[in-house]
Structure 1
């Protein structure tokens, strides 16, 4: 992986229900390349086929599939040019494993070292006013807070600098992120 790719790969992370996916969708609508969240995609796919890799059935298998998805998204993004915005990244899998008290396998740590992103990672804090549960998001607000904290700890441990995205309107959040990646 080249340093150029690392610089143009931007992660948005945080707890569930903080507006990450809405912001990713706004970035896509503005013409930017994006990569969807692994967790929701895997849950959707496995619910459709009664598959085993659901976080409430087999969290370790769910984590392995998320890791594979994130590595594949990273590889696919290398084919393009310009900024790419990821709805979570490889370190999120480590954060998930820590959150669920599962061991972090060596290959997951190696993946976090190998599949790198821009040093500046955008983290979205819990936002109780917009938080909601659905068929794919079964976590409660307490778990959203614990997930946020796990991502803070994990990304810092992986050598990233966190930029907290303020609780603003979607257009204002979009401008905040785009301003933060634009060189001065």
Structure 2
């Protein structure tokens, strides 16, 4: 009897497809743009116009909403960002609650049919919440939850989706990495 070994079992790495990765990246964008209070060692001022700030961030990340965002959508998405943030610290209970609250259910939409994790009539915030929460759940569910990270630099709450091969990324970006290294150097010099 022949034995088939799936490729991901050889290296111990699960495959995260582009669909899941893209929605996980949207979750990161929502949390970082609409929820964090401190970034790169400084307080973050909430945008005066959430919709405009979100539209700018979406454009910068080549994300095209299927329909125009409204001010009400942007306000609801700020709530979604707050719901998704705990998942980056491994809080699966909060993630499960978000999945239920936003009606996450696999279904096919459009012509040609495309897989989505929200009902056909869902509002944009509920659709994005369901799809993003499902993507985060899938990342965690395939044993790759350590890829959902918060920046380890002091004074930074930014989150990221670590796509490095060995999940070694610790900081949201180079500025936080440099701040952390400089702080550690100064602490060693004082000791």
| TM-score normalised according to structure 2 size | 0.24
Please say which structure displays the higher CA radius of gyration.
2
Q: Which has the higher contact order (CA 8 A, sep 6+)?
A: 1
- TM-score normalized by structure 1? 0.25
